[in-house]
A and B are shown apart, each in its own frame.
Chain A
């Protein structure tokens, strides 16, 4: 335990103490309002490049286990909480969160007035920050922070993309085979698709449209992932070529890249949506789902061709776009996380919609 600070790019500084890992780390500081699911959050590749602040003050209560991970490692660059639990309790826990973070060499600090920090981010917007256990001089920290690239324009996908392609097998009979463009996918997306009989061929985001079509898949899935969607030009280009040729379903970053591929623009939200309680209305059914969200960018619906694109999901908190559908081609995408983990399972039905889309397309071609 060492004294530590979190210094923000606008000069505000918060004090706390570190866990076992000391040193310095920097990234975009965002807050997450989910009350449970810290292990899923830590391992979600979409948090690459970010320092995550948990608004719930007591973190680590149920320890850590080998099951509740969304990828093969922790992706957050730093972790900020009010209080880490010293004695966890859960029948599935195999270690404490503190040892889990320390083992993974994650710089994590506690004792921070996380509510004040959250209010600050809400009022001033997500911004760069640096956690240090070594340097407390604001001037020095400010200088260091200047060298940290901004989230806008940053391609973080290449940092988390898979080294080589692999197949995630369907549970039971294979109904369809889909190409999964992995920009930083969460495991539960694969689990959900597999449970519906989709054999997932996970491929690198740099795979060309030609190569993807050569795989003769039944559909293409575009995953979630970190960073600025506009910076991932190679995937946007690929998607543009695929539209209309094969059924496509995208989630989160996937949704944003689809928006860009359709000629639209994305913009950065002030402090993003990171939590597990956002109400989203499915405009087709009228049903409201409580959704898991994690995104800092958003598709600007006004920039999309209105004749081709229909907004199918809407965030009821801020009226932002949460889902798109192409009126002519087999394509739809969702901005939030129907795979949950963490968060409510209200939107799981969307994976079935992907299958319906594949089947509908096949029927039309038959």
Chain B
């Protein structure tokens, strides 16, 4: 049956900012869906507040709204665009929840919009735990024993029945928010009430604990003719009890017999039919008792999920694309498998390799939070590795994680770790458990003992034991013979040992190992990911490396060379690896743009990346895709086979930049800004010299290589100082210190981070304004594309700071100084491509803070704000074109103000203070676009899920120096109808300015305390500027409560100002919506 012709225009709701539990996999799925729908002739209306997505590129949809994802805004868009249908299953939980809300509020009915893919009843049945349970029982599937509760009394009754430990799951939340494991009665009250509160409908499920059971996931697809296929099975290394997003997972399932696998498959078929997911992909999770095989259903997502992205990349089966096609009426057999071309999509991929996904955590950024894992997701990214064996894939994955591990290595000496600690790290799931398994094995603990403590399946432990046994034999051999035999070395490579690991074993350098093995003929070979285990010819060049006898990349290249096509220029783009705080989707966006732009110029593009969530690792983004870790060794292996004409390192964030020098020394043709220029920007002394030459002021600064030097330098520069280790991204371990004592404790802490790199010390300019600039340069000309004024003061990491473009308070003179400086720096560094500069402005003086001769986090934001694809232009500049070849927008007459706001993960890390500082902590960002600053800011706040209140109470408690400024704002707010609450000191100043204030205590005693008022929702906005590094513990509680109850909490005076303007604008003018296509057209 062909596609539907009764619908023409389809609304797609994106997933908004990157947050823990919902990352760029939904950009990947949404982008695929848009492309698939437009390919079939449908008009696509896309809404997403996240500018750093490919899907919000104006050429991906017919009408693109970078607008807040709220029902209010969506209704406006629906009223304006009048779509025939909404596809709710590709925008993550956010998209799904919004579609549900639109339905429940009658908006879909009012505008006659049909839900396709999954309708309201289906979503309810799958997401509503009670209905889901009933559905499972109807088709005879087993579930953990469970009961629902809506009140604490009901919760207690259920818990008594089920017993402890039990699991609490909160309905309609994402990434497991509000969920927990309760081990004892004592913990129950707190955890159950948190669960009730997190749920959209105050519903929790209290469940029999199946902690320690084996965990599996199946990716299922169904079409409207009721054909169902399983795309992929996934087995978790971490047993039940750890959120699957935080688990190391393996595809396909490893330890199920065919009989058990088919039982699971049959259950999935029954379930998807019973739930009634008409078309598209779903993800179903199962647990299996390790001793008796009892299989229970855990949950089902009636939509494309993070696991679907993984399954797509793991198999080559594009789930999101097909889900979109199924939603408009195609059946699976009517869709062609792109990879094999001849066979239909109505099949189940079979793979001939092993895939390992490893989550990437960022606990180091939240030192107060324990790195313990549970049912609530905490990881911020992931890497996927493909190998012919599990051992190879695991080691590739560990080195691809970029956490300074070179495999299942010996970063810590097991002898130095106490047994008790190892035992505890094995028992309690945590971010580094995989390495503790190795320590335990090294200590000689038996496999059975490790299994008993960790409850990880013995199969995985045994695989790791084999890796260790080989390592021990290699060490022995190396000690005896000073080298390794060809046989041993080959085995080591087959089992995923990196050259760096072998270098440690052999006491050689990594490049010596490389030379040695190449002499022995041990070179990486590349195999195809083809959905069919080589049963059919594959046409898509999607490769992974392994050590085998046949290299399919070489075969393909040879075939191409024989063909009649003229050989094209080849450019390789190095991606950013796993997402982390400080290096996320923005960089993948740039890499994709490079691929798109160069491909369009007839250049053959080669993408290298290891992040399964991304658009860059889609097999049709570039001409050739290498799914590989971003390490020197792995990149060199690809260079050897592909011999590209150019390598781009400036788009993937710090990851490829860190490889640049070594790659160049090894002969890689790096294009764009030279490696030497990168060094000038990153080397303090050379940089200072350049700034002197250009007569650009720098805050006093110094560089130190020892503790003593650091102390001396700091006092010479003068406190407060900004200190950090060099070569880090996202302000990792950066801090403002006010005295020597805190400086010393800082130096102590960062010993691990800096790993031999010196410590940088800068004078911290207090109360300065920070400005970010993105510019393009072709070596001769400079285009200053975006000047962004930060809303928070300097001192807060630029990634965590809201900013506005064009600048709204900077004088013309300052802007022109900044422009001149930018031009001079770009030309002096001979930048070819992108360049990002951060300035601090204090009074009339402009200081340079740092220069990054690479794509920055703000490139997508600026591109969308001004309507010019900066990364695309940059990549073409690198390939040899000049700025004159492009039509660049006139920046003097931007009709809109764009505000970027960041989204912070504090609610995930209990006990962490939400104070912002020079270390970046945000996971994502949103963009607010409007004709005025106030409206743009207000939109950005809605989009960041902290909408400014339009009525209610405002609580103010500010530091001494801010008190005078705050009075004016309080007055404005009062005039707008808000009730002002303040602490004693702040209240005094406000009163004297004629503001009516209710004095409240911060916390503790009495009715009248801020904590209670926040809980009672009487306070709708908190303005609290902390003084210095020391924040009082009461204020800490208030900020924590604000987060818990989703009350916006503003911690800077500038932020407060912006808020007042935003509130004013929202109240007076309301919001209008406008598509990017309209923005650019009417400019």
User: Residues of A at under 8 Å CB distance from B?
Assistant: 14, 31, 33-37, 39-40, 55-58, 61-62, 65, 67-68, 82-83, 85-92, 113-116, 118-119, 122, 275-279, 281, 286-288, 290, 316-318, 340-345
B645, CB-defined interface residue at 8 Å: no
Contact across chains for B227 and A288 when beta carbons are under 8 A apart: yes
Q: Which of B350, B465, B537 contacts A35 (CB 8 A)?
A: B350
Offer 9 A-B interface pairs, CB within 8 angstroms, sorted by A: A56-B350, A62-B256, A87-B459, A91-B290, A114-B352, A118-B534, A288-B333, A316-B347, A341-B259
Give the distance in Å from the alpha carbon of A275 to the alpha carbon of B550 in the complex.
Answer: 23
Quick one: given A61-B459, A122-B535, A317-B342, are A37 and B258 in contact (CB under 8 Å)? yes
Chain B residues with Cβ under 8 A from A290's Cβ? Answer: 229-230, 347-348
Q: Which residue of B lies closest to A119 (CB)?
A: B534
Contact A115 B350 (CB under 8 A): no
Q: Which residue of A lies closest to B257 (CB)?
A: A62
Interface centre among A14, A82, A92, A114 (most CB of B within 10 A): A82
Taking a contact as CB atoms under 8 Å apart, the answer to whether B262 and A287 are in contact is no
Instruction: Determine if B333 and A316 form an interchain contact, defined as CB atoms under 8 angstroms apart.
Output: yes
Is B208 interfacial (CB-CB < 8 Å)? no
> CB distance B354 to A287 under 8 Å?
no
Q: Are B533 and A33 in contact (CB under 8 A)?
A: yes
Per DSSP, chain A at the interface is loop
B344 touches A279 (CB 8 A): yes
Cβ of B352 and Cβ of A287 under 8 Å apart? no
**A-B contacts besides A86-B466, A87-B447, A87-B458, 18 pairs, CB < 8 Å:** A33-B352, A33-B532, A36-B252, A39-B257, A40-B258, A55-B350, A55-B534, A85-B459, A89-B458, A90-B256, A90-B260, A115-B388, A119-B550, A122-B536, A277-B348, A316-B347, A341-B259, A344-B262
Residues of B within 8 A of A279 (CB): 333, 343-344, 346-347
Number of A-B residue pairs with CB-CB distance less than 8 Å in the complex they form:
166
Which among B257, B333, B349, B537 is the interface contact of A281 at CB below 8 angstroms?
B333
Whether B256 contacts A317 by the Cβ 8 Å rule is no
Q: Interface size on B (CB < 8 Å)? A: 59
Contact (Cβ within 8 A) B262 A340: yes
Counting CB contacts under 8 A, is B618 at the interface? no
Residue numbers in A under 8 Å from B527 (CB-CB): 115
B292 at the interface (CB under 8 A from A): yes
Q: What distance in Å separates the Cβ of A327 from its nearest Cβ neighbour in chain B? A: 25
Closest CB in chain A relative to B390 CB, distance in Å: 6
B contact residues vs A (CB 8 Å cutoff)? 225-227, 229-230, 252-262, 265-266, 289-293, 332-333, 342-344, 346-354, 388-390, 447, 457-459, 462-463, 465-466, 527, 532-537, 548-550, 552
Q: What is the bound-complex CA distance between A243 and B891, given in angstroms?
A: 84
Bound CA span A90–B257, Å: 8
Residues in B whose Cβ lies below 8 Å from that of A340: 262
CB pair B389 A115 closer than 8 Å = no
Q: Which residues of B contact A90 (CB under 8 A)?
A: 255-257, 260
A31, A82, A91, A318: the one contacting B389 at CB < 8 Å is A82
Q: How far is the CA of A196 from the CA of B292 in the complex (A)?
A: 27
With both beta carbons as reference points, the residue of chain A lying nearest to B391 in the complex is identified as A83
Contact A277–B347 (Cβ < 8 Å): yes
Q: With the chains together, A344 CA to B220 CA distance in Å?
A: 14
Q: Are B459 and A92 in contact (CB under 8 A)?
A: no
Top 4 A-B residue pairs of the complex, sorted by shortest distance between their CB atoms: A87-B462, A37-B258, A116-B550, A342-B258
B534 close to A82 (CB less than 8 A)? no
Q: What's the dominant secondary structure at chain B's contact region?
A: loop
Q: Which of A31, A35, A113, A286 has the most CB of B within 10 A?
A: A35
- A36→B261 contact, CB < 8 A: yes
Whether B533 contacts A55 by the Cβ 8 Å rule is yes
B350 A343 Cβ-Cβ under 8 A: no
Minimum C-beta distance from A334 to chain B (A): 18
B344, A316: Cβ atoms closer than 8 Å: yes
Asked if A57 and B344 make an inter-chain contact with CB atoms under 8 angstroms apart, the answer reads no
Do B351 and A35 touch across chains, with their CB atoms under 8 A apart? yes
Are A116 and B549 within 8 A (Cβ)?
Answer: yes
On chain A, the residues within 8 Å of B227 by CB distance are 287-288
Specify which chain B residues have a CB less than 8 angstroms from the CB of A36 in the assembled complex.
252-253, 256-258, 261
A180–B234 alpha-carbon span in the complex (Å): 39
The answer on a CB contact under 8 Å between B352 and A92 is no
Chain A nearest CB, measured from B322 CB (Å): 14
Q: Hey, which chain A residues are within 8 Å of B260, CB to CB?
A: 90
Q: Is the pair A118, B333 in contact by a Cβ cutoff of 8 Å?
A: no
Report how far A170 CA is from B466 CA in the complex, Å. Answer: 47
* Residue among A34, A57, A90 having the largest count of chain B Cβ atoms under 10 Å: A57
Contacting residues, chain A, for B266 (C-beta < 8 A): 345
Query: Which of B226, B257, B343, B533 touches A65 (beta carbons < 8 Å)?
Result: B257
Whether B293 contacts A91 by the Cβ 8 Å rule is yes
Q: Which of A57, A61, A277, A287 contacts B353 (CB 8 A)?
A: A57
Whether A88 contacts B535 in the complex (CB less than 8 A), given A68-B257, A115-B352, A286-B225, comes out as no
Contact A58:B254 (CB < 8 A) given known A36-B261, A87-B462, A113-B549: yes
Q: Once bound together, how far apart are the Cα atoms of A118 and B537, in whole Å? A: 11
**Which residue on A lies nearest to B290, using beta carbons?**
A91
Chain A nearest Cβ from B22, distance in angstroms: 30
In the complex, chain B residues whose CB is within 8 Å of the CB of A65: 257
CB of A58 to closest CB in B, whole Å: 6
CA distance A92 to B389 in the complex (A): 24
Contacts of A55 in B (CB 8 A): 350, 352, 533-535
Looking at the assembled complex, report how far the CB atom of A189 sits from the nearest CB atom of chain B, in whole angstroms.
Answer: 16
B229 contacts across to A, CB distance below 8 A: 290
A25 to B265 alpha-carbon distance, docked (Å): 36
Closest beta carbon of chain A to B252's beta carbon, Å: 5
CA distance A62 to B290 in the complex (A): 12
Chain B residues lying within 8 Å of A35, measured Cβ to Cβ, are 252, 350-351
Residues of A within 8 A of B342 (CB): 317-318
A86-B466, A279-B347 known; A287 and B534 CB under 8 Å?
no
A37 and B261 alpha carbons, distance in the complex (Å): 9
Report the Cα distance A324→B607, complex, angstroms. Answer: 48
Specify which of B258, B351, B532, B534 lies most central, judged by the most chain A CB atoms within 10 Å of its CB.
B258
Is the Cβ of B534 less than 8 Å from the Cβ of A122?
yes
- The answer to whether A68 and B534 touch (CB under 8 A), given A287-B226, A317-B343, is no
Specify the chain B residue showing the minimal Cβ separation from A274: B535
- Given A34-B350, A83-B389, the answer on whether A275 and B257 have CB atoms closer than 8 Å is no
Q: A residues within 8 A CB of B535?
A: 31, 33, 55, 118, 122, 275
Q: How far is the CA of A68 from the CA of B255 in the complex (A)?
A: 15
Chain B residues in 8 Å Cβ range of A31: 533-535
In the bound complex, residues from chain B placing their C-beta under 8 Å from that of A86 are 462, 466
- Give Cα distance in the complex from A340 to B260, angstroms: 13
Please, which residue of chain A has its CB at the minimum distance from the CB of B226? Answer: A287
Contact B534 A91 (CB under 8 A): no
Query: A91-B291, A118-B535, A317-B536 are contacts. A56–B351 as well, Cβ < 8 Å?
Result: yes
What's the minimum C-beta distance from A282 to chain B, rounded to whole angstroms?
A: 11
**Cα-based distance from A113 to B353 in the complex (angstroms):** 11
B388 contacts across to A, CB distance below 8 A: 57, 82-83, 115
Instruction: Please indicate which of the listed interface residues B350, B447, B537, B552 has the most CB atoms of chain A within 10 Å of its own CB.
Output: B350
Cα–Cα distance between A35 and B292 once the two chains are bound (Å)? 23
* Residue of B227, B349, B447, B535 ringed by the most chain A CB atoms within 10 A: B535
Q: How far is the CB of A169 from chain B (nearest CB, A)?
A: 22
CB distance from B466 to the nearest CB of A (A): 7
A316 to B, closest residue via Cβ: B344
Q: How far is the CA of A114 from the CA of B465 in the complex (A)?
A: 25
Q: Which of B253, B332, B350 contacts A288 (CB 8 A)?
A: B332
CB atoms of A88 and B459 under 8 A apart: yes
Give the residues in chain A near B253, CB-CB below 8 Å.
36
Contact B354 A57 (CB under 8 A): yes
With the chains together, A281 CA to B333 CA distance in Å?
Answer: 9
Bound-state Cα–Cα, A276 to B533, Å: 12
Docked Cα-Cα span, A56 to B388, in Å, equals: 9
Determine if A91 and B292 form an interchain contact, defined as CB atoms under 8 angstroms apart.
yes
Bound CA–CA A37/B548 (angstroms): 25
Residues in A with CB closer than 8 Å to B463 are: 87
Given A82-B389, A86-B466, A317-B536, verify A92-B257 contact (CB < 8 Å).
yes
